[in-house]
């Protein structure tokens, strides 16, 4: 892809990132951090693509290590975020009319 | 022969990127947070399936086994952790993500599968630079290794602090800030060497290894002076760092999804770090470097 197109994507994505979390409520700081953490686990895509092209056994080993680490980041991240939010739901269900359910 | 054409691959990556934006959006208000997280997970699964179908790959079975191992480690850890220990688990997940990004960028710089930048570099005449990553791609790669390693070792230290494997009080070594500055300076110098070399050739593997080593040291020294109560804010900052490394590795790999998702996390993580700091009535700089001020008690 063209270098300038990549730069444009970077700048626009940065603005979206700034904008989308600017009004987060204080209680959701930790789950949001955890959710964002899970999203950067998408490096798994990069790990898969790189490992699929390696030729040396050393490179393949490192690539597979990256796949394991990225999977832990992504899968674990989403699961732990869900558990945090489950806890929130339990707390807010005591309040009448609280929560989305 | 790959199953998906380049256009379909790009389309599914776009859908996944939109899922991530909706996930962040959903996570910022209580009513939609849980659904937002699920949308994010859906986007991630779509992205991984797309990656598998987008290219011809070797070692497919080994990769699938590696993913299964990752799930076998990550899911039980996330399921069984006590509520009070969640922040350090998030720190650990963030750290391994940074390490993965560093490994990916280092591998890509080494074998140079698809350097999209090569053709656009000023001075790249025909085949002269073919097989070399080019200046900007090597810069992005060196950045990924540098910051990814800082994120990994820094996250390990935050984990140790929160898990009370070490003292939660600020640890200040005599001259610690000079050691930190020094290791950072060496890392940046090595990165410059890698960029210069990357313009005409594939960077030496040992350079990347030494860069990783110094960055790991810098990450430890970066987090040591932070006190226990401020650690969550540092985790958020390191989370933003890892986001940026993922974005940079997207540059190296010429992959739009990694670029967009990493930038989203980098930007939202930066804002979140500032929000968390201001919720505690602190500024980010005072949290990071406050322990070096004379007013603070030195161990």
Each residue of A38-84: pLDDT tens digit?
Answer: 999 999 999 999 998 888 888 899 999 999 999 999 999 999 999 99
Query: How big, in percent rounded to 5, are the helix, strand and coil portions of chain B?
Result: 75, 0, 25
Interchain CB contact of A7 with B (< 8 Å): no
Which of B15, B38, B90 should one mutate to test binding to chain A, selecting the residue with the greatest count of A CBs within 10 A? Answer: B90
Contact A46 B253 (CB under 8 A): yes
Token representation of residue B235: 């985790």
User: What is the C-alpha separation between A81 and B78, in angstroms, rounded?
Assistant: 9
How many CB atoms are closer than 10 A to CB B280?
12
What lies within 8 Å, CB to CB, of B144 at 6+ separation is B101, B102, B104, B105, B106, B245, B248, B249, B252
What are the CA-CA distances from residue B169 to residues A44, B145, B160 (Å)? 35, 29, 12
Contact B44 A42 (CB under 8 A): yes
Each residue of B56-97: pLDDT tens digit?
Answer: 888 899 999 999 999 999 999 999 988 888 989 999 999 999
How big is the CA angle at B148 (ends A39 and A3), to the nearest 5 degrees? Answer: 75
Each residue of B105-136: pLDDT tens digit?
Answer: 999 888 754 444 444 444 444 333 445 667 78
Interchain CB contact of A1 with B (< 8 Å): yes
CA dihedral B15, A43, A16, B266 (to 10 degrees): 170
pLDDT of residue B131: 57
Distance of CA A50 to the CA centre of its chain: 20
Provide, as residue numbers in chain A, all residues whose Cβ is less than 8 Å from the Cβ of B74.
Answer: 71-77, 79
User: What is the C-alpha separation between B254 and B176, in angstroms, rounded?
Assistant: 38
What lies within 8 Å, CB to CB, of B143 at 6+ separation is B191, B244, B245, B248
Token representation of residue B71: 């799930």
pLDDT of residue B125: 40
User: Residue A30 pLDDT > 60, yes or no?
Assistant: yes
Interchain CB contact of A9 with B (< 8 Å): yes
- Indicate whether this model's pTM tops 0.95: no
User: What is the C-alpha separation between B137 and B194, in angstroms, rounded?
Assistant: 10
Q: Quote the ipTM score.
A: 0.88
């Amino acid at each position: 892809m063209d270098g300038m197109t990549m730069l444009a994507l970077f700048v626009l994505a940065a603005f979206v990132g700034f904008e989308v979390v600017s009004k987060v409520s204080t209680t959701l700081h930790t789950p949001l951090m955890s959710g964002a953490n899970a999203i950067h686990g998408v490096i798994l895509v990069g790990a898969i693509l790189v490992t699929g092209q390696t030729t040396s056994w050393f490179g393949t080993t490192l690539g597979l290590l990256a796949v394991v680490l990225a999977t832990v980041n992504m899968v674990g991240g989403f699961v732990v975020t869900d558990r945090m939010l489950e806890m929130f739901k339990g707390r807010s269900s005591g309040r009448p009319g609280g929560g989305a359910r | 022969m790959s199953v998906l054409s380049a256009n379909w691959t790009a389309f599914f990556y776009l859908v996944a990127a939109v899922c991530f934006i909706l996930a962040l959006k959903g996570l910022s208000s209580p009513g939609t947070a849980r659904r937002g997280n699920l949308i994010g997970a859906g986007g991630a699964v779509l992205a991984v399936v797309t990656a598998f179908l987008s290219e011809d790959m070797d070692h497919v079975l080994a990769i699938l086994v590696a993913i299964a191992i990752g799930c076998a480690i990550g899911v039980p850890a996330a399921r069984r952790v006590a509520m009070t220990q969640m922040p350090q688990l998030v720190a650990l997940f963030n750290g391994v993500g940074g390490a993965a990004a560093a490994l990916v960028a280092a591998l890509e710089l080494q074998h140079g599968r698809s350097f999209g930048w090569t053709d656009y570099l000023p001075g790249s005449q025909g085949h002269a630079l073919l097989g070399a990553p080019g200046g900007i791609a090597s810069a992005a790669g060196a950045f990924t290794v540098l910051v990814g390693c800082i994120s990994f070792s820094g996250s390990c230290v935050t984990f140790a602090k929160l898990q009370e494997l070490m003292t939660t009080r600020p640890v200040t070594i005599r001259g610690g800030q000079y050691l930190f500055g020094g290791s950072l300076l060496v890392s940046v110098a090595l990165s410059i060497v890698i960029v210069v070399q990357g313009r005409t050739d594939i960077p030496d593997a040992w350079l990347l290894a030494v860069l990783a080593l110094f960055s790991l040291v810098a990450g430890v020294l970066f987090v040591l002076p932070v006190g226990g109560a401020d650690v969550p804010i540092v985790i958020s900052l390191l989370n933003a760092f890892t986001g940026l490394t993922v974005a940079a590795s997207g540059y190296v790999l010429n992959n739009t999804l990694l670029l967009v998702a990493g930038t989203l996390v980098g930007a939202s993580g930066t804002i979140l770090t500032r929000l968390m700091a201001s919720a505690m009535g602190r500024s980010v700089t005072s949290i990071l470097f406050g322990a070096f001020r004379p007013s603070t008690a030195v161990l």
